[in-house]
Chain A
């Protein structure tokens, strides 16, 4: 039985939204707890930069302080950039997929969504928010765990995985880009290399702290952290790992399920793979990091458009690659009547 194109798209976005919610809440949880006492404590403008939301953010708030940023990125249910919006959107996709996905996947997400709806203002105040983000992160992990243990391995599961890995690659690339820009902007840029708190924050934001410690007992420096998050093949949130997963999934779609229209997307992923491979041996990676991330994010956006065209049949005009430094996070086309 072939998968409805609409359901494929919904599986893709279900995973993307869950992954986005977990990434965002992890970054905030990390920075709102471990970040205390460090020199960057005061400003959260980097988070707005991370998701390229400067414009909509400025419309609502004058100042990127902690309270405003939390309101914008966590508490707000209508802002497409917020955690609560992402969980709501994930749940809406899951609702339309209830005849396709296991009941356990749906009911976990449904209960989780209602738990988030019932949260109070105090859950988002400076004292409560780290814990709240922790709860959200774990709720998303639970969804991905249920999916991993129960979702039937057919083409539908491949689209779920495509969404998951695409979003994750995008999130890690953004994180690297923004945090390294933050580093470079410091007045004491040269002296911060030994700032272990700073590196720990980046690594924890990518759930890579323990693994990095074991992998690099010599400790953190910019090149090691950049290489680890960009090119390490065993770190499940590295760009290299995600790109490799995307490639495998697309190959499955082409070979096992006979979906020949995966060919163009595969070519694009081979490009991505070559780019990541080149970065792995790049001795000047830190200097070129921004250009690489910029390139990566553009390729990921194009890949999403290609998937739209090849599988989901959305009549969305393919956007020309723009030259902007960071693109706003992509959201699902509103296709409900």
Chain B
């Protein structure tokens, strides 16, 4: 088989008599995660390709259906509530894995680590001396007038200077195969549970595909996360108690909260399970109140503490900020990280990296024009029909105008808004997201994907090998969000080849 690979054409890699699921597969003009820009897989990926090619589409579809069935029974689901019913849905799961070569992963890992390091330094600076604002690297008002800026955090020193303990970096790959950062998620990034559960499902459904292949493990995420959270526990906590704080069973990410608590082996608490006494946090147990030292909170800043933020919140715990600022409990992520993963600040992250680390960014941003700057505004107005216009300070895809897909009148409206308040917008070119072979009813076809690696930071940063691959299941779509027809794939980071 290896000898066949040297012949160099796809047909030579398989039995020409035997029909295979990839026979009609053509990713062009996009960059393919399996074939790259070539017509044959990279030498590291030939083996997997050959194994896939031996499975027929009917087998793939049958195993995919079994896997989805199993995900449903296991309750790896999110719940859609209507007035009367609660309907459980799985996140669509595609069985053809996305592969990442060892060399590619080395770059991604160091790039993500570098970025998280710079963002943590930026947050420290913003809530302390504000050098970067005074030096005019990032416009002060962009930060200080940002909706996610939290004056309550001024002068507060989080343990080890870490604000963003858990980070998700959204990456896309352009037509030449170069990775770019599309977005930082430094508040409460979700999705990591699917990384691990997708792997377990692949191990069960496709043992033949994985057998003998050296794929980096993702199963130790919980242990690693817990260890990192213990690193940032308040001083003096002898054996720190970590808990995971969830908004409760009605939250759409509830499965993930269960998963994380289970994998860390820590209690999954709700606001009503916690109480603050004398600036210390306790949980209500059958044996009375028990101290809590670190809270991995999956509740947004606004709802965290009714004493300080939204006073109507019943999800949070009154006094949590007092306890945190007194240094008696560590909140992960820290309050106020939203100024670092904001779309407006995103545009400045390459400069932020250079400013604090004196290094070039390992992973570039997607080309971004800052409309608050005159050059950026002029370019955006000139090329609006080719660009994606994004309002800053919004999330979840709200208010985005996709130039090439908008009508003339829609563009006029966008242009008017842009001119009225330029600083509220950035613009980016349409990125031709890379594709990955994906199983459809009519066989294997190219579908667009992105990648979200997860970085966990205590004393230092550890990056979970791979991350969440989201796939736009609709033909031609570049929207990978689960709410708009997106699914997920298992992401296989191959181990280094032994030399």
- Chain A positions near chain B (C-beta within 8 angstroms): 1-8, 92, 95-96, 98-100, 103, 106-107, 110-111, 114, 155, 159, 257-259, 311, 313, 336-337
Q: Which residues of B contact A106 (CB under 8 A)?
A: 75
B286:A5 contact, CB within 8 angstroms: yes
Known: A106-B75, A337-B272. A4 touches B287 (CB 8 A): no
> Least Cβ distance of B76 to chain A in Å?
10
Q: Considering only CB atoms, which chain B residue lies closest to A94 in the complex?
A: B75
B258:A99 contact, CB within 8 angstroms: yes
B267:A107 contact, CB within 8 angstroms: no
Q: Considering only CB atoms, which chain A residue lies closest to B257 in the complex?
A: A99
Known: A95-B75, A99-B262. A6 touches B249 (CB 8 A): no
Q: Which residues of A contact B270 (CB under 8 A)?
A: 6
22 chain-A/chain-B pairs, Cβ below 8 angstroms: A2-B287, A3-B285, A4-B269, A4-B283, A4-B284, A4-B285, A4-B286, A5-B273, A5-B284, A5-B286, A6-B284, A95-B249, A98-B75, A99-B244, A99-B262, A99-B268, A100-B268, A103-B74, A107-B73, A259-B287, A311-B286, A337-B314
Inter-chain CA distance A168–B258, complex, in Å, is 30
- Interface residue? B34 (CB, 8 A): no
Q: Considering only CB atoms, which chain A residue lies closest to B87 in the complex?
A: A117
Those of B237-286 within 8 Å (CB) of chain A: 241, 244, 248-250, 254, 258, 261-262, 267-270, 272-273, 283-286
Inter-chain CA distance A4–B275, complex, in Å, is 13
Q: Which residues of B contact A95 (CB under 8 A)?
A: 75, 249, 254
> Least Cβ distance of B239 to chain A in Å?
10
Which of A6, A98, A99 is within 8 Å of B273, CB to CB? A6
Q: Looking at chain B, what size class is its interface with the partner chain?
A: 20 to 34
Inter-chain CA distance A259–B270, complex, in Å, is 23
B75:A257 contact, CB within 8 angstroms: no
- Interface residue? B103 (CB, 8 A): no
Q: Considering only CB atoms, which chain B residue lies closest to A9 in the complex?
A: B286
Give me the 8 closest cross-chain CB pairs, A-B, nearest first.
A2-B285, A99-B261, A99-B268, A98-B258, A111-B73, A99-B262, A110-B75, A5-B284
Inter-chain CA distance A100–B257, complex, in Å, is 12
Inter-chain CA distance A6–B285, complex, in Å, is 8
Which of B72, B267, B272, B287 is within 8 Å of A99, CB to CB? B267
Inter-chain CA distance A5–B269, complex, in Å, is 10
A1:B267 contact, CB within 8 angstroms: yes
Inter-chain CA distance A5–B282, complex, in Å, is 12
Q: Which residues of A contact B258 (CB under 8 A)?
A: 98-99
Known: A6-B272, A336-B248, A337-B248. A155 touches B75 (CB 8 A): no
Inter-chain CA distance A92–B315, complex, in Å, is 19
- Interface residue? B290 (CB, 8 A): yes
Q: Considering only CB atoms, which chain B residue lies closest to A311 in the complex?
A: B286
Residue from A95, A99, A106 with most neighbouring chain B CB atoms (10 Å): A99
Q: Which residues of A contact B73 (CB under 8 A)?
A: 107, 110-111, 114
